[in-house]
Amino acid sequence: MDISDVKENLEFRKVQITGKSSYIVSLPKSWIMNNKIKKGDTLTIIEEEEGELRIAKVLETKKREKPTPKIVMDDLSDSELITTVLGNYAMGVDGLEIVSENKDMDIAKRKVALEAIRSLVGFEVISESPNSIRVKNLLEPSDFNLDEVINRLALISTSMFKNATSSIVDLNPEKVKEIEAQDEEVDRLYLLTQRLLAVGLRDKATARRIGLDSNGAAIGWSTIIRSIERIADASTEIAQQVETLRKFKIPGEVLNLHSKFNKEIASLTNDVLVAGSQKNPKAALEALRKLEKLDKLREDIRKTEMEKPIEPKALLSLETVNNALKGVINNTRDILKVLINSEYWQNYKK
């Protein structure tokens, strides 16, 4: 703490020693009187970032529960209802009440709401009535370690991308099914990570328990998980082109280039994962250099596809694939740029 920045309410206290190992600092009398502190009261002492201490009186009254958000579904479209439920979850609310102002809730909308709730880690339906659904969070943020959740999110996303690029070569429909299933898991983990970051930013004690080092780390991780989620979406988009491409003859030269891309991406994704897990700026910079070479290969693939005699529908699918590859490369570039500057955002405290 820089005391030169403090203009008011600045007092100095000398540290005293009692016994062999107890250090004592007296508390300002004005603070004691204002907070009605008396002998025997319990105070909390919390160590803040940069070594500061925060002292507070322990309130004996019960903690006031926050009101449960209420969602009136009647005038919401299905997508609006889903977005509202997911948005409340990501912001860290511990409960929801979804209601209809009609006597009976629309059956189709009830189904939409329940499916959205089931996709959320920790959220469970605790009661239902003809026109309402009550939801409660049953998991504490401290049940999770942020690094572990993000690492799993990254592993699934990179697995999806490697399978997606290889599916363009072998046109295996089973890989497509696996990728679509993995995409649902990525969505669940992405929302969970958003929720952990939101709660950690509001409560420093929770931040410490989940492994969130600073506000700067929250900013960095937020950028990273958004890019990871977009890579998973792009992988799904690539895999969805397999059904169309299976109907056409794709020139061997094009397939060979895609096969080369798949092999290169396997090496690169491993480098990105290492840089992320170690928060290693040098490893991230080296991975970024490899990424630029991979982007050049993507451009070569597109040029070759345009030169070869390929059916229009197949060419359109291949163009969709190439655009998705470009999106993955751009999002990976964003991740690496954050990691290159990780020494800054990990230490950013404000």
Q: Same structural domain for residues 290 and 247?
A: yes
65 in a structural domain: no
**End of a domain among 113, 137, 161?**
137
Once rounded to an integer, what is the mean pLDDT over residues 244-250? 94
Q: Same structural domain for residues 47 and 89?
A: no
Inter-axis angle of helices 281-307 and 312-340, to 10 degrees?
170
What is the per-residue pLDDT across 285-328, written as a single tens digit (0 to 9) for each?
A: 999 999 999 999 999 999 999 999 999 999 999 999 999 999 99
Q: ∠ at Cα 120 (116, 121), nearest 5°?
A: 160
Residue 201: strand, helix, or coil: helix
167 in a structural domain: yes
Q: Same structural domain for residues 181 and 252?
A: yes
Tokens standing for residue 36? 């009605």
What is the per-residue pLDDT across 166-200, written as a single tens digit (0 to 9) for each?
A: 999 999 999 999 999 999 999 999 999 999 999 99
Listing DSSP states for 172-200 in one string gives -HHHHHHHHHHHHHHHHHHHHHHHHHHHH
Q: Where are the alpha helices (DSSP H) in the chain?
A: 29-34, 78-90, 107-118, 146-170, 173-202, 204-210, 215-239, 242-245, 252-278, 281-307, 312-340, 342-347
**End of a domain among 137, 171, 196?**
137
62 in a structural domain: no
64 in a structural domain: no
**The predicted structure's pLDDT at residue 348:** 44
What is the per-residue pLDDT across 4-37, written as a single tens digit (0 to 9) for each?
A: 555 556 778 888 887 766 788 888 888 888 888 8
At position 28, the amino acid (one-letter code) is P
Q: Kindly report which listed range (56-70, 86-100, 252-266) carries the lowest average pLDDT score.
A: 56-70
108 in a structural domain: yes
Q: Widest CA span of the chain, in angstroms?
A: 89
306 in a structural domain: no
**What percent of the chain has pLDDT above 90?**
64
Q: Same structural domain for residues 232 and 316?
A: yes
Q: Same structural domain for residues 160 and 40?
A: no
pLDDT band at 62 (very low <50, low <70, confident <90, very high): very low
pLDDT at 1 over 90: no
304 in a structural domain: no
What is the per-residue pLDDT across 104-118, written as a single tens digit (0 to 9) for each?
A: 999 999 999 999 999
**The predicted structure's pLDDT at residue 228:** 95
pLDDT band at 65 (very low <50, low <70, confident <90, very high): low
Q: Same structural domain for residues 80 and 148?
A: no
**The predicted structure's pLDDT at residue 5:** 53
**The predicted structure's pLDDT at residue 69:** 93
* Structural domain count of the chain: 3
The CATH number of the domain holding residue 16 is 2.10.260
pLDDT band at 349 (very low <50, low <70, confident <90, very high): very low
Return the higher-pLDDT residue of 128 and 64: 128
Q: Same structural domain for residues 88 and 157?
A: no
Tokens standing for residue 93? 């609310």
Torsion sign, CA atoms 139, 145, 146, 147: negative
**End of a domain among 95, 114, 137?**
137
Q: Same structural domain for residues 125 and 154?
A: no
Q: Kindly report which listed range (64-73, 79-88, 232-241) carries the lowest average pLDDT score.
A: 64-73
Backbone angles phi, psi at 54, to 5 degrees: -115, 125
Integer CA distances (angstroms), 68 to 41, 94, 134, 198, 245, in order = 32, 8, 9, 17, 49
**The predicted structure's pLDDT at residue 217:** 85
Q: Same structural domain for residues 159 and 252?
A: yes
The CATH number of the domain holding residue 111 is 3.30.110
The CATH number of the domain holding residue 277 is 1.20.58.220
- The residue behind tokens 């997508």 is 79
**The predicted structure's pLDDT at residue 347:** 53
Q: Same structural domain for residues 189 and 319?
A: yes
**The predicted structure's pLDDT at residue 29:** 85
Q: ∠ at Cα 282 (279, 157), nearest 5°?
A: 50
Task: Give 18's strand partners.
Answer: 22
Q: Same structural domain for residues 95 and 214?
A: no
45 in a structural domain: yes
pLDDT at 231 over 90: yes
Range(s) of the domain holding residue 217: 143-296+311-347
Q: Same structural domain for residues 221 and 196?
A: yes
Integer CA distances (angstroms), 305 to 89, 257, 315, in order = 44, 10, 7
Closest CA to 251 of 311, 341, 199, 295: 311
Q: Which residues of 71-93 are buried (b: 16+ CB within 10 A; e: fewer)?
A: bebeebeeeebbebbbebbbebb
pTM of the model: 0.79
